[in-house]
Amino acid sequence: MSGPVIGPLVLGPPAHGGHVVARHEGRVVFVRGGLPGESVLVELTDTRHDRFWRGRVARVLEASPERVDLDLPPAACTGADLAFASLDAQRRMKGLVVAEQLARLGGVEEPARLGGLDGGPGGAGPGDGAGPAVPVEAVPGDDDGWGWRTRMRYLHVDGRVGMRGFHSDELVEAPAGTGFLLADPRGPRPHELARYADRAGREIVVTVADSGVTVTSGGRFLDGEAVVTQRVRGLDLRVRADGFWQVHPGAADALAGAVLDALEVRPGERALDLYCGAGLFAGVLDRAGARVTGVESDGPAVHLARTNVPRARFIASRVERALGRLPDADVVVLDPPRTGVDRRVVEAVTGLGARAVVYVACDPAALGRDVGRFAARGWRLAGLRALDVFPMTHHVETVALLRRGLETHGRRGRAGEPGRDGPER
């Protein structure tokens, strides 16, 4: 059922979560499907809140020059919520969101001017009237932003296989000529998964690894190997096919390189890898000569990490429960889930005597909040890289370098102190 349509509205800067900001009669409207500067009509999708509404572009009246006219069936772009924008515009919008979240939640002034990390670009990107954007880098080997998703979660209904619609359980079937364009072409197309229908549950997951393709459903392995191999910077890492791994085929290599560039590990240094998974960062730190301790809560991942990085020590525990067992460290890597790190983790990490901490984040709001928490304990953001490991979507990965007492940026207010963390948008 369609909602009411309002407008014309002129769209403003991007907001966290894939929206752009507009105003209607004094109220903020978060709009999907638009670009800054466009004049549009907006169909309202959520009017439950007094202070803001949500909506989607119903009709573009004045288009941005960055808008892309895709001559494709809409279903082909399922899951690609920014496919209507050029790649440059997508990256500029993501960079603006990263900058805004660091400024608002982390109290960082001019985050775009931090100069990047060694090996990455620095300086400010175009601002679209919202201040300078953090530069967002393309992942090496990604030419057009399509065909990168190595893990596809398909919906299975009565022998038909497709993707879920946006925020729904509606089955979207793949167009015959194109399939789903985000999917890694090495994996089977949805219609080819029908042969598993008699053994599959409601969800079928296809995982493409360097060693082959695995198909699972409801915890059952329908095809392929349960443990696969991923190759990163000369390392062969064994990973559960249904466990965590970066979904862009170039992401793990790019992120590992960014972490190494930031930390400049010296042989013999003590490195702590928190939320270490199957040992991606532990492996490259070990190869660089560090003495590594990793912490991970997932038992199968810890078992594989011990095989992947036999010289390292691994603690099988939730990070929050292992804080009393953490050794002193010269460098620390944090790669938490989307929700970020607990305040207690920040307190513990800042007391380990480390010279540097690298924080790998997939959510700009969580990063901004946690940078504020580090700052409240005397640590400062010293470098930042943003990587476009999720092209055609609003998601972005960041690698932040934190150092103790380094005044590389100003502070605004008291963000990150107890009781003062800003709300996530």
Q: Which residues are catalytic?
A: 362
Closest CA to 251 of 124, 108, 151: 151
**Residue 58: HSE in the Cβ half-sphere, 13 Å Cα cutoff:** 15
d(C-alpha 213, C-alpha 204), whole Å: 13
- Among residues 318, 314, 292, which one has the least CA distance to residue 303? 314
Structure token digits, residue 173: 């079937």
* b/e burial code for range 102-119 (CB count within 10 A of at least 16 → b): bbbbbbbeebbbbebbee
Cα separations in angstroms, 2 against 58, 293, 335: 10, 54, 41
Task: Map tokens 């989607």 to a residue.
Answer: 56
According to DSSP, residue 421 is labeled P
Cβ-contact 383, 411 below 8 angstroms: no
Q: What are 294's strand-pairing partners? A: 273, 314
Return the residue matching tokens 């990168």: 148
Q: In sequence order, which ranges of 126-202 are alpha helices (DSSP H)? A: none
The answer to whether the CB of 335 falls within 8 A of the CB of 357 is no
What's the rounded Cα separation, in Å, for the pair 274 and 295? 5
38-54 burial, b if ≥16 CB within 10 A, otherwise e?
Answer: bbbebbbbeeeeeeebb
- Residues facing 239 on adjacent strands: 228
Residues listed for the chain: 425
Q: What phi and psi, each to the nearest 5 degrees, are found at residue 127?
A: -105, -20
